[in-house]
Structures are given as structure tokens and as C-alpha cells.
Structure 1
């Protein structure tokens, strides 16, 4: 997903926590016309959690027939995008020739490496009827040694993502290892991405890792005596045995992994090297990025604001 502005850090309300909680980030919805996005990473107070550097919550957006997601071709470098849907579908195309429809429960992993261009649209049979889109798109910063690898695209069907129940709580391990399960999704650094669906009063002890955060995609939580509202992200401390309790039916995403070095960000470009970001910007302005196969009639220009 690409927001057509150079402003990377969208407005958020930040609350300093204590004990198990470092900060609570409450994003403000950014209206993109037909739908809205809530961005909790990066913020001025927190750029990354483990290797995760972008966290966008799309929708839920309800589209009438004839409208829908229509993200024109745009570029990336030195990162990997991870798309996961709760409802609806997205049609992915890229400059490698990849063509994939992501549906709820699937994982799309697009590795930009030294450079890739992609678009995110919808199949005509979806766009011609009333429909809904709801999901998460996250960006992973690649380790320095992997920043300039060849671009690649991987699609993992929902059936291949391991799932279990922990004290009756439905859990899916989307990336990394937790609760005795290991996801098949490729990682480049120590990475954790878990989805859980809790009913009212159910509890779940969170797995440990060097850095981690929990996002409330639906519902609400308590951590000790602290109430966490819907759409908030809680950046957690290194405390072990942190337990969450659902105050209503709740869906959460847990992200984390190893601490990474500082990244430089401008628009859709991130890198450990500021000069590499500027180089990518100039390449896009000059039209030197590869084109999306079968989607060459339009593109997103580099934003001027």
C-alpha cells in the first residue's frame, strides 16, 4: 500500500506506559478517499518494533459496485511487505511478473531488495459488486546484508499457516515461532508475527522476544489494570509472562523480533543508508525502475508534499 504523500509519520496519540508497557500508540485514521488507513508505525516516538517499520491497518472499508482498491504501480527498496487480510481480497502484480490474489488468512510476502515495483488492485468480478476490504499491511526492514538482494515474491495460502488453540484462544503463527509452532513464511532476521482471536474474559500469555508490540485490530484488552482500546498499539517491555485479557470479542496482532539499526525513510523507500534512499528517489523520478508486468499505463508520481 502506498500513501500519496511524503509524510511518513501519520498523526498518533502516544501515552507513556510503565512496567510491562513502554508506550501506547493510538493512530488517527488517514482518509485516502475510498477508504482509510490507521498507521501506528513509524511514529516520532517509535520508529520500529524488531524489524517491523510500517504497520498499516486498512479499513474495514465497504465499497459499492464500481469502486474499490486501486493502488497504481509504485516502487520499494531494501524492505519486504507483508499483507494479511481479514476480509475481502487484493490482486497483486509486480515487475517480476507475479500475479496473485490474496484472500483472508493468506500471507503475501514481497521482498523489494534492490528494487521492485508493484500495484494493488481488484479483480473485475469483485469490483463489479458491493464488497468489503479489511486487513493489515506491514513492512519489514531487511538486515543490511540482505538489503540489496534480488527482489522476490512469495504467496502462502491460508491452509499452510500453522494454527492452534491456547486455553481455547484461537492463535495463528503468521511468521516466526511461538506456542510450539513455526510458520513457513520466509524471514531474514528474527521475526515474530502472531494473530489471536479472543472471546470476552479469555486470557493469553504472550511469547517473549527482544522487542514486541500488540495491536488491537478489533475489540479491547486489559494488561494488568490498564485498558487498551480498539486500534491501539502497545509497545511492550522485555518483561516475561505478560498476559492479556479480552474485555470483549477481540482480534489482536502481535509483532516483534530482534532489534535493528536505524533506517532512513522517504515515501516508499527505506534503507540503512541515506544516500541509497536518495538514489532510489532519483531513479523513480527518472523512470528507471522496472515496470509492473501488464500494468504499465499509469503510476504514482513521487509526492511533492
Structure 2
């Protein structure tokens, strides 16, 4: 998705947690015209978790026939985007010529590097009927040495993502390594992204990482004496072997990895150098980014 303003940080309600929790974030929904998006990162109190610099939970959104998402072409630099759907389908196009339908369980990794343009729409076969869209969109900061790499697109179908049961809890290791499994998804720094589904009363010991955050996409959990309701994100400390318990059927996402240092974020641009973002803004205004084959008749203007 594209941001609608140059300012990316979203206000979140915050509370302190137990000794294993540094902070609990609760987002405020933003209505994009019948389509709710909850932003957890970046916030004023927490800009990043490991290499993760942006975390949006979109939907669930129910569209009638004839409607759906239609995100016009827009640019990115110096980051990698990760799209992961729970329900529905998004049609990805980019300036490399990629054309890929993203479906539930797949991982789409788009490496912007020195600059890429993409659009996110839905196929006519999807919008012809009533349908639902629901998922997560995340951004990864790239290490400074990789910020200007050649742009690339990688698609990993659901069947290629490793899965295991941990004490009866189904777990998928989407990125990085955990529970004895390693994901094939490309990473540029130590990166962790794990999904799990817990039934009421089930517990799960979370994998360790330099920095971690636990998001409750559905349901509710308990971490010791701290309740974590749906759509809350717990920024965890480095305490090892942290265990969570499901209070109801729950879907969780754990993100983390190594911190990469300060990054500037403005509109759809991320960089370790503020002047690089200013250059990208000029380049987009003046039409110097590449176009998207098959979707080159419109674009999102730079806000403001």
C-alpha cells in the first residue's frame, strides 16, 4: 500500500507491561474508505523492531462485487516490502515487469534498493464477486551497504514456507530461523518473522532475537499477568524463553532481528540519509522513476 501523507508515524495508545514487555502498542484504525488499516510501526515511542520499520494490518475488508483495492503506481527506495495475506488476493505489478497474484500464505518480497515503482490491485475475476481482503504489510530497512542494490522481486508460494507443530501449536517460519526451521525467503540482515495459531489454553515459547515484537492479529493472549487483546503489539525485552498463553483462538505474528540504526521515513521512502529521501521526492515529482508495464497510465502524486 501507499501512504497518503508524507508523515508516516501513526499515533498509538501505549501502556507498560510486565518484565518481559517493554511496551504495549494499541493502534487507532484509519478508514481508507471502507477499508480499515491499523499501523503499529513506526510510532513516536518506537520507530523500529530489529530491521522492521513499518507494520500495517489491513482489513478484514469486505467488498461488494465491482469494488476492491486499486492502489496506483507509487515508488519506494532503500527498503524491502513484505506482503502476507490471511484472506483474499492482491495483484502485484512493478517496474521490473513483475506480474504476480499474491494469495494467502504466500510471501511477496519486493526489494526497492535504488528505486522501484509498483501497484497493488485486484484481478477482474476477483472483483466480479463479493470478496474479502485481510493481511499484513511490512517494510524492512536495508543495511546501509545494501540500500542502493538493484531492485528485485521475489515470490515464495505458501507451500515453500516451512511449518511445524510446537507442543500442538501450528507455526510457520516466514522469514529467518526458529524452532529448528529456516525459511527460504531472502534476508539482508538477521531477520525473524513467525506466524502461529493458538487455541484457548495453548501456550507457546517465543523464539529469541536481538529485538522482538509480538502482534495479536486475531484473538487475545496473556503474557504472565499482562493481557494482550486483539490488534495489540507487545514490544518485548531480551528476556529469553518468553511464553504466551491464548485466552481464545488466536493468530499471532512475531517479528524481530538485528537493529540497523536510525532510518528516515517519509511517504513511501526509507533511507539512512535524509538527503537521499529529498532526491527521491524530486525524482518522483519530475518523472525520473521507471514506469510499471501494463499499469502506466496513472500514478500517485507526491503528497503536498
TM-score (norm 1): 0.99
Question: Matches of 1:33 and 1:58 in 2, distance apart?
Answer: 12
Distance 2:244 2:18 in 1: 15
The residue correspondences of 1:47-86 to structure 2 (distance < 5 A) are 47-86=47-86
Contact 2:18 2:226 survives alignment (8 Å): no
Question: Could you say what secondary structure the match of 2:15 adopts?
Answer: strand
In 1, the alpha carbon distance for the partners of 2:8 and 2:30 equals 12
User: What RMSD in Å do the two structures reach over aligned CA positions?
Assistant: 0.6
Q: Which structure 2 segments of 5+ residues have no match?
A: none
Runs of 4+ in 1 over 6 A off after TM superposition: none
User: What is the rounded CA distance, in whole Å, between the counterparts of 1:234 and 1:260 in structure 2?
Assistant: 20
1:99-145 superposed Cα distances (whole Å, 9 cap, x missing partner): 00000000000000000000000000001110000000000000000
Distance 1:29 1:11 in 2: 10
Give, in whole Å, the separation in 2 of the partners of 1:34 and 1:285.
29
2:268 maps to 268
**Distance in 2 of aligned mates of 1:203 and 1:115:** 42
1:194: Cα distance to partner? 0.2
Alignment of 1:286-305 (within 5 A): 286-304=286-304
1:182 aligns with 2:182: yes
> How many Å apart are 1:4 and its aligned residue?
1.3
Count, aligned residues: 304
1:23 aligns with: 23
> Which blocks of at least 5 consecutive residues in structure 1 are unaligned?
none
Whole-angstrom CA distance in 1 between matches of 2:232 and 2:25: 6
What CA distance in whole angstroms lies between the structure 1 residues aligned with 2:6 and 2:26? 21
Q: Distance in 1 between matches of 2:279 and 2:302?
A: 13
Residue number in structure 1 paired with 2:161? 161
Offset of residue 16 of structure 1:
2.3
Give the Cα separation in 2 of the matches to 1:209 and 1:194.
12
Matches within 5 A, 1:1-305: 1-304=1-304
User: Residue 173 of structure 2 contacts residue 195 of structure 2 at CA under 8 Å; is this kept in 1?
Assistant: yes
Q: Deviations over 1:158-185 (max 9, x none)?
A: 0000000000000000000000000000
Distance 2:146 2:54 in 1: 18
**Deviation of the 1:260 alpha carbon:** 1.4
